[in-house]
Structure 1
Amino acid sequence: MIWADRIEGPWSAPIDLKIDGCIDPGHVVGEDGRRYLFTDGIRKIRLSDDWSFHQPAADEAARARYGDRRLLLTGRGTSPADSPPLTCIVGDRSNETELSFDLVGDAEAGLLLFYNHKAFVGLGFTPDTLKLFEYSEELSWARKPLNGRSLRLRLRNEKNVVTLFYSQDEGRNWARHDSRMEVSGMHHNVFGGFLSLRLGIYAAGNGEVVLRDFRYQGNPSLTVESRIPSRG
């Protein structure tokens, strides 16, 4: 634990404490009790209590830059299987998340439900391809052609049944992906680690991803196509 009178100085830079999986070296707690992500030892981004990189390296915080109400993530790895995603614990059994992505350079990005690198589902994209990830693998047969560097993704989790949507016009019109997934088996008893199935944002490849207009809704109304009639 590190204490200081003010949230500044060299101690705020990421520190490698040699404790893999236990310490997130890019985060510190300020005197206000809030967690901060330091991007260069001086500038900071206030995080919610639950956002963090999964299994961060000592330099993971340097991947994130904030400005003009947008978060920029530098790509790392080649896919969600080897890229540390930014994750958030969600407490609502049913929930819906939307986020807009802009790709810069040779980047790939996407929106996930993520337990660990062996257990995740979601959508990702490159400038020319929409990708589907199911149980930690990309399903190449489910690829769809795209033409553009901007995409808005929506992930709806209705009591462990996941439905995925994408929009190429900032959410005015949505397309639902053909595949649905059931994720109730993604937990410690199957995959270990004492983790939880979290919301995840990944950025991979040799480029950057601009993240903007994040929206979250807990316990949304059930979709008509997944509603089970009550017995009367």
Structure 2
Amino acid sequence: MALPTSFLRRASVLAALLLATTAAAAQSSKPGSPWQRGIENQRQADLGNGTFLNPVFAGDRPDPSVLKDGNDYYMTLSSFDAYPGLPIWHSRDLVNWQPLGHAITRNVGSIWAPDIVKHEGRYFIYFPARTGGTEGSERSNYVVWADDIAGPWSEPINIGLGRYIDPGHAVGEDGKRYLFLSGGDYVQLSDDGLSVVGEPKHVYDGWKYPETWDVEAYAQEGPKINKRGDWYYMTTAVGGTAGPPTGHMVITARSRSIHGPWENAPNNPIVRTVSRDEPWWSRGHATVIEGTDGRWWMMYHGYENSYWTLGRQALLEPIEWTDDGWFVAKGGDLGSPLAKPAGESVGAHGMALSDRFDGDRLGHQWSFFNPAQDEYKRLSFGSGAMTLQGKGRTPRDSSPLTAIAGDKAYQFEVEMEIEPGAIGGALLYYSDRLYVGVGSNGERMVMHRYGVERPTNGLPAGKGGKLWLRVTNNEHIVTFHTSSDGRTWTKYPTQMEVSGYHHNVAGGFLALKPAIYAAGDGKVHFRNFSYRALDY
């Protein structure tokens, strides 16, 4: 009897994972080893046997923009309301990535779809931002620049273009610099890349999919320009970012001139989720990248089947060029291991989410949600603790600190010393309208559910005290435990189901993230934040 394709695929993945796990265990089994730190917070893409398995970057990594700089690759992503924002990652093989820092700390709004480029020795990131949240009506486009990829980065420079999102940088055959924009328009940049010259012009009408397809909206966006031979290629997303799993897609067009006319690929869409049974939904918004060995790749995002809550994860797919100068996707539905790109690893992939708070600054894993301009003044460090001055009364108005989880099942714990007048807590946080968690003033508990408080008026000032909180998210089933000594735990009497805490329900294009918060008038001292992935 023939075995089902899904069974064979799963068997091949498990076999590859077993080989990788065995090899990694042979390298190091010591607590705190790079291997253990690497797998603490997200699934490993590198299987250790010359192959990788998507997601290449688990968790909320939307709109990836990748720059090839010699044998190095640098990536940034949409950071939306999280600050520090515009995270920058470094790789030499497109699979293993290490954090370098962030390109922006000042809140200019919700940051969408950036483009990272290098021009005449200087690095630039172009990005749109909306004020009033991801759905805010006020928006503009900005640029930051640096002479070293590790920074320091400039303050954000407002270049306008408020009608548009998703700027993509290009250099034309005339040597001039341009930004391609949503809707098929483009505009010239000044020679220094820090301002706009003239008015945008329409240059590309896109590619129209059949009306019978289930998509969110046409939404022509995310243009990325690359040049190969005598051709410029404009790779674009259409079909809407979320909505039906079959909506988002990658299309491309080419022209011998940056000014057009642009001819659509005969094999559009290059990538599209055809069925909701596939492992990855809403695949789109691609950057085309040349590998160091002549092979080519696309990096784009997609939602994992049934896990909109994790956000859009970064996916890597090989492409091949046809004899007539187009490219085709060769990764299938990305459910099976693929041959790794060439290049050496820069080290253990990702970063640990656990934090002993024994440093003197905020770790790379943390970002405030929609902070005020002076938000960082709330922070201080010392005696093995991160101290956070209270703000607001509830998670909604306290700008919680959030981290990106890449696992379907995980658990985290944190120790809190709550000063009189303060409220501290642990959360799964989607936005200021939707979150779950537990908080305390040191005397009483408050439950956060559906983005509201029980009791509904929150908590009054209390006498403070010590409390340990544990949050378990086991494939959307959330359980809380509390402890007064960090050893004996009591299960909180209410459990929650959070599979609906995502964009298609609440808007925002965000992800459900582990978070901690401090509210009220006092301070909360956080110690020993510990995160671990669970088997599933």
TM-score w.r.t. length of structure 2: 0.33
Q: Is the 8 A contact 1:14 1:59 kept in 2?
A: no
Instruction: From 21, 44, 56, give the equivalent of 2:110.
Output: 21
Q: Is the 8 A contact 2:419 2:463 kept in 1?
A: no
String of CA shifts for 1:165-197, please: whole Å, max 9, x gaps: 00011x211000111000010111111111100
2:477 corresponds in structure 1 to 161
1:61 corresponds in structure 2 to 376
1:101 corresponds in structure 2 to 416
Shift in alpha-carbon separation, 1:197–1:13, aligned structure 2, 3 A? closer
- 1:1-232 to structure 2, matched below 5 A, reads 15=106, 19-22=108-111, 30=150, 45-48=361-364, 50-140=365-455, 149-169=465-485, 171-220=486-535
String of CA shifts for 1:96-136, please: whole Å, max 9, x gaps: 00000001231001000000011100110012201111111
CA distance in 1, matches of 2:483, 2:360: 31
SS at match of 1:45: coil
1:14 shift after superposition? 6.0
1:39 corresponds in structure 2 to none
SS at match of 1:61: helix
Shift in alpha-carbon separation, 1:13–1:62, aligned structure 2, 3 A? farther
CA distance in 2, matches of 1:13, 1:191: 26
Q: Is the 8 A contact 2:421 2:463 kept in 1?
A: no
CA distance in 1, matches of 2:472, 2:429: 14
Q: Is the 8 A contact 2:421 2:464 kept in 1?
A: no
1:220 shift after superposition? 4.8
Q: Is the 8 A contact 2:416 2:525 kept in 1?
A: yes
Shift in alpha-carbon separation, 1:57–1:148, aligned structure 2, 3 A? closer
Shift in alpha-carbon separation, 1:122–1:214, aligned structure 2, 3 A? same
1:200 shift after superposition? 0.9
String of CA shifts for 1:30-63, please: whole Å, max 9, x gaps: 459xxxxxxxxxx951512x31000111111111
Q: Is the 8 A contact 2:480 2:491 kept in 1?
A: yes
| Shift >2 Å, 4+ stretches | 12-16, 29-32
Which runs of 5 or more structure 2 residues have no equivalent in the other structure? 1-85, 87-102, 112-128, 130-148, 153-358
Q: Is the 8 A contact 1:99 1:214 kept in 2?
A: yes
CA distance in 2, matches of 1:147, 1:193: 37
- Matched residue type, 1:186: Y
1:140 shift after superposition? 2.2
Shift in alpha-carbon separation, 1:184–1:177, aligned structure 2, 3 A? same
CA distance in 2, matches of 1:80, 1:163: 18
Q: Is the 8 A contact 2:442 2:467 kept in 1?
A: no
1:21 shift after superposition? 2.6
**Greater relative contact order structure (CA < 8 Å, 6+ sep):** 1
Q: Is the 8 A contact 2:393 2:519 kept in 1?
A: yes
Q: Is the 8 A contact 1:96 1:220 kept in 2?
A: no
2:52 corresponds in structure 1 to none
1:87 shift after superposition? 0.3
Cα root mean square deviation, aligned = 3.0
CA distance in 1, matches of 2:360, 2:391: 21
SS at match of 2:426: strand
CA distance in 2, matches of 1:163, 1:15: 35
Q: Is the 8 A contact 2:398 2:517 kept in 1?
A: yes
- Matched residue type, 1:81: R
SS at match of 2:494: strand
SS at match of 2:522: strand
2:314 corresponds in structure 1 to none
- Matched residue type, 1:21: S
Q: Is the 8 A contact 1:14 1:61 kept in 2?
A: no
String of CA shifts for 1:143-183, please: whole Å, max 9, x gaps: 9xx986100000001000000000011x2110001110000
Q: Is the 8 A contact 2:422 2:464 kept in 1?
A: no
Q: Is the 8 A contact 2:441 2:463 kept in 1?
A: no
- Matched residue type, 2:386: L
TM-score w.r.t. length of structure 1: 0.74
